[in-house]
Structure 1
Amino acid sequence: MILDRNRIDLPLLITTLLLVGIGAVMIYSASFVIAEEKFQGDSSFFLKRHLVRIALGIGFLILFANLDYRKMRKWSLLMMAIGIISLIILYIPGLGLEIRGATRTLKLWVFNIQPAEGIKIVMVLFLAHWLDKSQHVIQKFIPGLLPGLIVIGTTCILIALQPDFGTAITLGLTSAAMLFIGRARLTHLAGVAMFLAPFVGVKIYLSPHSWKRVMAYFERFFGDPAEKLVNVQGADYQLQQSLIGLGTGGFFGTGLGQGKQKYLFLPDSYTDFVFSVIGEELGFIGALLVMGLFLVLAWRGIHIARHAPDAYGFFLSSGLTTMISLHVVLNIGVVTGLLPTTGLPMPFMSYGGSWLLFCMISIGILLNISRGASRQQRLQYD
């Protein structure tokens, strides 16, 4: 069988499909107004495109669930090199597509792709392989930690220059978590973080768009309330609309499809801020259900890591689980105003082909690792 329920982590698979299904429903609910306006009354325009991507994503999930994860490690260095090259190619005139002031999308023959989304998985694959091979020197800085830091730093810098600070920070945090799990010294990691902090701050300051977001974040807590009422279309406009939606939803929500913020008040209602629409239309109960599903997903990822058949599988499953969980935490933090706006999508639920595809690939890899653990347990039993 393609997916043997006795050999894969069934709770992880079911949870993923539930999140994808809820996401599809909410994308339609959040996008049909803007779709009708932009595409001559075709209210399901975004839904139809998203369903095609879901079908493609399920196909890749099945493929990677049946592809031995151990065979991927020999390609990790090559994939890392290709990923870095693709980030460099973005800066070649005519190949990189600029959207909202950021050059994140690579124009190919028949489709577009965001290399930064794919390199998240590639980085996890690379670090899992590298950590497995470097355990004997990982607690030493120059022969152990430094080579990995150079690769991580180069990748994060190329992404930050797009500029895409949200992805760069997520990639950096995921990498730091993997290094910590891989027994790198906390003093080394803290020292590197302290060294990089001023440079990150200067780069954000020199990027007008990012600096506006940071200042808007602090103005929420320390700004003049009267000025907020006057400057309603400021840098914090989208967050204000998100909070209005969440507040309107209350405990039980306004009802599926009955939300008002998607009526062009919340511009990214079906992408980065889809969780706000969930809170508005399904209420606190619906938002809690979605968060509960993500907690189940994280729990199963941790379970797979703990029972991985080898160190490479442990590092790989830990990294993938961390990456997805970080996206969830950061996205919800932004939507609820606890964090500055980052532009990070919600896993499985936000509209967007590249991110959905790579999330499904991540789950496929986790399912494959769980198959390896089940196989090893049966051999031990026999």
Structure 2
Amino acid sequence: MNHLLNKTRGDKVIWTLVVLLAMMSLLVVYSSTGSLAYKMYRGNTEVYLFKQVVFIAIGLMLIYFAHLINYTLFSRIAQVLFWITVPLLLYTLFFGVKLNEGSRWIRLPIINLTFQTSDLAKLALFMYLSRMLSKKQNIIKDFKTGFVPVIIPIVITCLLIAPANLSTALLTGATSMMLLFIGRVRMKHLFLTGLVAMIPVLLLILSAVIQHNSNGIKAKAENRSRLTARVNTWVNRVETFMYGGNSQDDEDNYQVNQAKIAIAKGGIVGLGPGNSEQRNFLPHPYSDFIYAIIIEEYGIVGGAVVMFVYLIFLFRSIQLFRKCPYAFGAFLALALSFTLVIQAMANMAVNVNLFPVTGVTLPLLSMGGSSFLFTCVAIGLILSVSRYVEKSELKPAVQSSPENELS
């Protein structure tokens, strides 16, 4: 153990935040899954707790081993990894495991486990974007040779993710635009891209308004294609967010109302650990709506602490961006921290009804799965950059420029 601790490097604050979130995850996941585990496993309420312990242990190992790898290696494999994810997303779209008329997962043979390919695609995209931005800084303001090569991977990834998971595609696109802005892409190029991206969003809002004004008549999904059914799901969610839904039987409206009840019961200081009542009624209290359970048990104070932890994480990553002497590491740390914090803020916004219902989880706090493990890999890469920055500050005289050596 001492040997492992001695080899652990990187930003100590980020390490502390990761461990803190993992410990909080154990408490909240155990609380939110107690009733479900009792029903599913004949009174054994610790099943999901043990599973979460395993996921956290594996996740921490992934962070540790990833942070030991020189981050410049990821620049070398970024291009290959990105183009591997494209056929994976296509396969998931047509042959993946179906849920709510959408395919988000693929099942791995032999071990019979599923993982969400969009998580891998996001990681690969931000690694690839960081590489491209670091290499094209001298020509990044040129539309043909600078902007087009970096916007094409974003468009491909978002279009392939969107049919099954529109919220993830929108968050990925928003994070990418922020990264391009920091990467000195011309504002007029970003503005035009934003206008094009807003067209489908405005169409969804318009469809929700039309549907609501038509007395909320929702066509049955059985006779429609999968894509048409997904569009109907998106429209219904926007309509529920704008107008509150058409009835208490509406699933999204039910989730939002139960989350509101949980938050109202929590008040300022909450009901206390393990005392949640809405976990028995709120769908997915251990994943999509875990933040509502946190507020119910720990109050607004607990919810504010969680938000503050993510903001500190982002602040430390921004400091890495400013300290890192090489562009790839700086962009990589910033991109991965942006995507984690933006996802966290989106999840919180959904829970407090500031954003339409989505399927995004709360990083490091929601119950473990492929998203949890890919989040840990991303944090490991951030700490790898931090480890190099730490070394460069100790030995400034022997710095080299590994990025410039990459082809």
What is the TM-score with the length of structure 2 in the denominator?
A: 0.87
Q: Give the match for residue 237 of structure 1.
A: 254
Q: Give the match for residue 261 of structure 1.
A: 278
Displacement of 1:372 in angstroms is 0.8
2:81 to 61, 69, 79: 79
Q: Distance in 2 between matches of 1:319 and 1:252?
A: 34
Q: Give the match for residue 124 of structure 1.
A: 126
Q: Does 1:188 align with 2:182?
A: no
Displacement of 1:39 in angstroms is 2.4
Residue correspondences, number: 370
Look up the equivalent residue of 2:260 and give its one-letter code.
L
2:307 to 272, 291, 294: 291
Q: Distance in 2 between matches of 1:6 and 1:197?
A: 44
1:249 to 266, 271, 295: 266
Q: Give the match for residue 334 of structure 1.
A: 350
Displacement of 1:341 in angstroms is 1.0
Q: Which 10-residue stretch deviates more, 232-241 or 196-205?
A: 196-205
Written as runs of structure 1 = structure 2, the 5 A alignment for 1:1-382 is: 1-4=3-6, 7-93=9-95, 96-109=96-109, 110=111, 111-161=113-163, 163-202=164-203, 205=207, 207-220=231-244, 231-234=247-250, 235-263=252-280, 265-380=281-396
Q: Distance in 1 between matches of 2:237 and 2:6?
A: 47
Look up the equivalent residue of 1:259 and give its one-letter code.
S
Please tell me whether the aligned partners of residues 121 and 362 of structure 1 are also in contact (alpha carbons under 8 angstroms). yes
Q: Distance in 2 between matches of 1:309 and 1:138?
A: 19
Q: Secondary structure at the match of 2:279?
A: coil
Look up the equivalent residue of 2:182 and give its one-letter code.
I
Displacement of 1:81 in angstroms is 0.7
Q: Distance in 1 between matches of 2:100 and 2:57?
A: 28
| Residue 151 to residue 350, structure 1, CA distance change in 2 (3 Å) | same
Look up the equivalent residue of 1:277 and give its one-letter code.
I
Structure 1: runs of 5 or more not aligned: none
Displacement of 1:201 in angstroms is 4.3
What is the aligned-residue identity percentage? 29
Displacement of 1:197 in angstroms is 2.0
| Residue 291 to residue 199, structure 1, CA distance change in 2 (3 Å) | closer
Displacement of 1:213 in angstroms is 0.3
Q: Distance in 2 between matches of 1:97 and 1:238?
A: 24
Q: Which 10-residue stretch deviates more, 205-214 or 324-333?
A: 205-214
Displacement of 1:202 in angstroms is 4.3
Q: Secondary structure at the match of 1:118?
A: helix
Q: Secondary structure at the match of 2:367?
A: coil
Per-residue CA deviation, residues 289-316 of structure 1 (Å, 9 max, x unaligned), is 2122112211111111111131111100
Structure 2: runs of 5 or more not aligned: 208-227, 399-407
Displacement of 1:266 in angstroms is 0.3
Look up the equivalent residue of 1:44 and give its one-letter code.
E
Displacement of 1:40 in angstroms is 2.2
Q: Secondary structure at the match of 2:56?
A: helix
Please tell me whether the aligned partners of residues 64 and 365 of structure 1 are also in contact (alpha carbons under 8 angstroms). yes
Q: Distance in 2 between matches of 1:330 and 1:122?
A: 21
Look up the equivalent residue of 2:103 and give its one-letter code.
T
Please tell me whether the aligned partners of residues 94 and 103 of structure 2 are also in contact (alpha carbons under 8 angstroms). no
Q: Secondary structure at the match of 2:105?
A: strand
Please tell me whether the aligned partners of residues 309 and 372 of structure 1 are also in contact (alpha carbons under 8 angstroms). no
Displacement of 1:268 in angstroms is 1.0
| Residue 91 to residue 329, structure 1, CA distance change in 2 (3 Å) | closer
Displacement of 1:7 in angstroms is 4.1
Q: Secondary structure at the match of 2:362?
A: coil
| Residue 253 to residue 174, structure 1, CA distance change in 2 (3 Å) | same
Look up the equivalent residue of 1:266 and give its one-letter code.
L
Please tell me whether the aligned partners of residues 245 and 276 of structure 1 are also in contact (alpha carbons under 8 angstroms). yes
Q: Secondary structure at the match of 1:37?
A: helix
Q: Distance in 2 between matches of 1:3 and 1:54?
A: 17
Q: Distance in 2 between matches of 1:232 and 1:203?
A: 22
What is the TM-score with the length of structure 1 in the denominator?
A: 0.93
Displacement of 1:380 in angstroms is 2.5
Per-residue CA deviation, residues 348-371 of structure 1 (Å, 9 max, x unaligned), is 001131111111111111111111
Please tell me whether the aligned partners of residues 256 and 282 of structure 1 are also in contact (alpha carbons under 8 angstroms). yes
Look up the equivalent residue of 2:149 and give its one-letter code.
P
Q: Give the match for residue 223 of structure 2.
A: none
Please tell me whether the aligned partners of residues 204 and 234 of structure 2 are also in contact (alpha carbons under 8 angstroms). no
Please tell me whether the aligned partners of residues 330 and 339 of structure 1 are also in contact (alpha carbons under 8 angstroms). yes
